[in-house]
Amino acid sequence: MSFEDFVAGYGRSLVRLAFVLSGDRQVAEDLAQTVLADAYRHWKRVRAAANPEAYVRRMLVNAHLSWRRRRWTTERPADLRKETGATMADPADAVAARDQMRVLLSRLAPRARTVLVLRYYADLDDAAIAAAMGVSESSVRATASRALASLRGPAAIDAQRETR
Protein backbone atom coordinates (compact mmCIF):
# COMPACT_ATOMS: atom_id res chain seq x y z
CA MET A 1 0.00 0.00 0.00
CA SER A 2 1.35 3.42 -0.89
CA PHE A 3 1.24 6.38 1.47
CA GLU A 4 -1.25 8.15 -0.80
CA ASP A 5 -3.60 5.13 -0.66
CA PHE A 6 -3.26 5.04 3.11
CA VAL A 7 -4.18 8.73 3.46
CA ALA A 8 -7.10 8.33 1.04
CA GLY A 9 -8.40 5.38 3.04
CA TYR A 10 -7.76 6.47 6.61
CA GLY A 11 -7.07 10.21 6.58
CA ARG A 12 -10.60 11.33 7.38
CA SER A 13 -11.00 8.81 10.20
CA LEU A 14 -7.74 10.07 11.73
CA VAL A 15 -9.01 13.66 11.63
CA ARG A 16 -12.32 12.57 13.20
CA LEU A 17 -10.48 10.69 15.94
CA ALA A 18 -8.27 13.71 16.57
CA PHE A 19 -11.37 15.92 16.76
CA VAL A 20 -13.03 13.68 19.32
CA LEU A 21 -9.81 13.60 21.35
CA SER A 22 -9.14 17.34 21.23
CA GLY A 23 -12.60 18.85 20.84
CA ASP A 24 -11.30 21.47 18.41
CA ARG A 25 -11.46 21.13 14.64
CA GLN A 26 -8.33 23.17 13.92
CA VAL A 27 -6.30 21.31 16.53
CA ALA A 28 -7.59 18.02 15.12
CA GLU A 29 -6.50 18.95 11.62
CA ASP A 30 -3.10 20.06 12.91
CA LEU A 31 -2.66 16.84 14.89
CA ALA A 32 -3.63 14.67 11.94
CA GLN A 33 -1.38 16.62 9.60
CA THR A 34 1.57 16.34 11.98
CA VAL A 35 1.05 12.62 12.44
CA LEU A 36 0.67 11.99 8.72
CA ALA A 37 3.84 13.98 8.04
CA ASP A 38 5.69 11.82 10.57
CA ALA A 39 4.16 8.69 9.06
CA TYR A 40 5.33 9.79 5.62
CA ARG A 41 8.88 10.33 6.88
CA HIS A 42 8.91 6.85 8.41
CA TRP A 43 6.66 5.16 5.86
CA LYS A 44 8.86 2.06 5.50
CA ARG A 45 8.52 1.36 9.22
CA VAL A 46 4.78 2.14 9.22
CA ARG A 47 4.09 -0.03 6.18
CA ALA A 48 6.09 -2.89 7.72
CA ALA A 49 3.88 -2.86 10.82
CA ALA A 50 1.33 -5.63 11.20
CA ASN A 51 -1.48 -3.07 11.18
CA PRO A 52 -0.45 0.32 9.73
CA GLU A 53 -3.75 1.93 10.73
CA ALA A 54 -3.24 0.98 14.39
CA TYR A 55 0.37 2.16 14.20
CA VAL A 56 -0.64 5.59 12.92
CA ARG A 57 -3.55 5.75 15.37
CA ARG A 58 -1.06 5.20 18.21
CA MET A 59 1.10 7.96 16.73
CA LEU A 60 -1.98 10.22 16.82
CA VAL A 61 -2.78 9.36 20.43
CA ASN A 62 0.83 9.99 21.46
CA ALA A 63 0.87 13.31 19.59
CA HIS A 64 -2.38 14.34 21.27
CA LEU A 65 -1.15 13.44 24.74
CA SER A 66 2.19 15.20 24.27
CA TRP A 67 0.39 18.24 22.83
CA ARG A 68 -1.77 18.36 25.96
CA ARG A 69 1.34 18.20 28.18
CA ARG A 70 3.00 21.14 26.48
CA ARG A 71 2.84 24.47 28.18
CA TRP A 72 1.02 27.18 26.33
CA THR A 73 3.75 29.71 25.86
CA THR A 74 2.91 30.49 22.27
CA GLU A 75 0.14 32.54 20.75
CA ARG A 76 -3.33 31.10 20.78
CA PRO A 77 -5.95 32.23 18.29
CA ALA A 78 -8.96 34.00 19.75
CA ASP A 79 -12.35 32.39 19.38
CA LEU A 80 -14.31 35.06 17.53
CA ARG A 81 -17.63 33.41 18.26
CA LYS A 82 -17.22 34.18 21.96
CA GLU A 83 -16.27 37.80 21.34
CA THR A 84 -19.17 38.60 19.01
CA GLY A 85 -21.72 36.77 21.13
CA ALA A 86 -23.18 35.20 18.00
CA THR A 87 -24.23 31.65 18.69
CA MET A 88 -26.06 29.28 16.43
CA ALA A 89 -28.70 27.33 18.23
CA ASP A 90 -29.28 23.97 16.64
CA PRO A 91 -32.70 22.47 17.45
CA ALA A 92 -31.59 18.91 16.77
CA ASP A 93 -31.49 16.90 19.98
CA ALA A 94 -28.73 14.67 18.66
CA VAL A 95 -26.45 17.61 18.00
CA ALA A 96 -27.15 19.05 21.45
CA ALA A 97 -26.44 15.70 23.11
CA ARG A 98 -23.18 15.34 21.16
CA ASP A 99 -22.14 18.82 22.18
CA GLN A 100 -22.94 18.15 25.80
CA MET A 101 -20.88 14.97 25.66
CA ARG A 102 -18.00 16.87 24.06
CA VAL A 103 -18.09 19.41 26.88
CA LEU A 104 -18.15 16.68 29.50
CA LEU A 105 -15.26 14.92 27.79
CA SER A 106 -13.26 18.13 27.63
CA ARG A 107 -13.41 18.37 31.43
CA LEU A 108 -11.69 15.01 31.81
CA ALA A 109 -7.94 14.60 32.07
CA PRO A 110 -6.31 13.90 28.68
CA ARG A 111 -5.53 10.28 29.56
CA ALA A 112 -9.10 9.57 30.72
CA ARG A 113 -10.57 11.26 27.65
CA THR A 114 -8.25 9.27 25.40
CA VAL A 115 -9.31 5.97 26.98
CA LEU A 116 -13.02 6.75 26.61
CA VAL A 117 -12.66 8.00 23.04
CA LEU A 118 -10.68 4.94 21.98
CA ARG A 119 -13.16 2.63 23.72
CA TYR A 120 -16.47 4.17 22.63
CA TYR A 121 -15.64 6.16 19.51
CA ALA A 122 -12.89 4.08 17.91
CA ASP A 123 -14.53 0.88 19.30
CA LEU A 124 -11.27 -0.62 20.52
CA ASP A 125 -11.02 -3.27 23.21
CA ASP A 126 -8.87 -2.87 26.32
CA ALA A 127 -5.90 -4.66 24.77
CA ALA A 128 -5.89 -2.39 21.70
CA ILE A 129 -6.28 0.72 23.86
CA ALA A 130 -3.43 -0.42 26.10
CA ALA A 131 -1.27 -1.01 23.04
CA ALA A 132 -2.17 2.38 21.56
CA MET A 133 -1.38 4.22 24.78
CA GLY A 134 1.54 2.11 25.95
CA VAL A 135 -0.04 1.17 29.29
CA SER A 136 -1.37 -2.04 30.84
CA GLU A 137 -4.90 -3.32 30.27
CA SER A 138 -5.70 -2.98 33.98
CA SER A 139 -4.67 0.66 33.80
CA VAL A 140 -7.06 1.14 30.87
CA ARG A 141 -9.93 -0.46 32.80
CA ALA A 142 -9.21 1.57 35.95
CA THR A 143 -8.94 4.82 34.00
CA ALA A 144 -12.17 4.10 32.13
CA SER A 145 -13.98 3.28 35.36
CA ARG A 146 -12.87 6.51 37.05
CA ALA A 147 -13.65 8.57 33.95
CA LEU A 148 -17.15 7.11 33.63
CA ALA A 149 -17.80 7.70 37.33
CA SER A 150 -16.83 11.35 36.98
CA LEU A 151 -19.05 11.69 33.89
CA ARG A 152 -21.98 10.19 35.78
CA GLY A 153 -21.57 12.71 38.60
CA PRO A 154 -22.62 15.88 36.75
CA ALA A 155 -25.19 14.03 34.64
CA ALA A 156 -26.86 12.57 37.71
CA ILE A 157 -27.02 16.00 39.34
CA ASP A 158 -28.55 17.56 36.23
CA ALA A 159 -31.09 14.73 35.96
CA GLN A 160 -32.13 15.27 39.58
CA ARG A 161 -32.58 19.00 38.98
CA GLU A 162 -34.82 18.34 35.97
CA THR A 163 -37.13 16.03 37.95
CA ARG A 164 -37.76 18.59 40.69
What's the rounded mean pLDDT across residues 140-164?
73
pLDDT for the residue 121 = 85
d(CA 30, CA 36): 10
d(CA 118, CA 156): 24
pLDDT for the residue 12 = 92
- DSSP code at position 42: T
What's the rounded mean pLDDT across residues 136-155?
88
Residue 160: pLDDT over 50: no
Length of the chain: 164
Buried b / exposed e over 60-99, threshold 16 CB at 10 Å, is bbbbbbebeeeeeeeeeeeeeeeeeeeeeeeeeeeeeeee
Q: What is the pLDDT of residues 20-60, one digit of tens each?
A: 988 888 889 999 999 999 999 999 999 898 899 999 999 99
pLDDT for the residue 163 = 43
Q: What is the pLDDT of residues 70-129, one digit of tens each?
A: 655 555 666 655 555 555 554 667 777 878 888 888 889 999 999 999 998 888 999 999
The CA distances from residue 104 to 45, 116, 118, 161, in Å, are 37, 12, 16, 17
Give CA angle at 121 (117, 124), nearest 5°. 85
pLDDT for the residue 94 = 78
The CA distances from residue 6 to 3, 31, 48, 61, in Å, are 5, 17, 13, 18
pTM: 0.55
